[in-house]
């Protein structure tokens, strides 16, 4: 059995883009990660404009995945052009 570490991943995307949520969830599934918590933080103002946007939608996940799965997820996220920002961090236990 492979070691599954805990991670937090937050996505920031254009609030008018409804299709991206399912795509992000499919990335997590394809990385064979187990979602333990999912929160839609809604639309929030940005600290500074990103691609001329002043507010964006936030989506937060807590996941469990192995190292290979996280690497796969990170590669797919980096190629996603419609994503404004993301943060993927390992949770220390």
**Token pair listed for 39:** 């929160």
**Residue 18 pLDDT class (50, 70, 90 cuts):** confident
**Span 3-27, average pLDDT:** 94
Query: Can you give the residue ranges of every domain in the chain?
Result: 5-90
Spell out the residues 6+ positions from residue 48 whose beta carbon is closer than 8 angstroms to its own.
Answer: none
CA pair distance 53, 57, nearest whole angstrom: 11
pLDDT in tens, 25-67: 999 999 999 999 999 999 999 999 999 999 999 999 999 999 9
Find, among 92, 19, 80, 83, the residue nearest to 51 by Cα. Answer: 83
Strands 5-13 and 34-50: unpaired
With contact defined as beta carbons under 8 Å apart, do 78 and 7 qualify? no
Collapsing DSSP to helix, strand or coil, 37 comes out as strand
Matching CATH number, 5-90, of 3.30.70.60, 3.30.413.10, 3.10.20.600, 3.40.250.10: 3.30.70.60
pLDDT of residue 36: 96
């Amino acid at each position: 059995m492979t070691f599954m570490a805990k991670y937090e991943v937050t996505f920031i995307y254009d609030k008018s883009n409804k299709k991206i949520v399912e795509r992000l969830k499919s990335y997590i599934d394809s990385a064979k990660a187990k979602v333990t918590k999912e929160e839609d933080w809604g639309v929030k103002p940005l600290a500074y404009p990103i691609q001329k946007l002043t507010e964006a939608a936030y989506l937060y996940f807590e996941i469990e995945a192995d190292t290979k799965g996280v690497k796969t997820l990170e590669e797919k996220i980096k190629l996603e052009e419609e994503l404004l920002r993301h943060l993927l961090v390992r949770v220390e236990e």
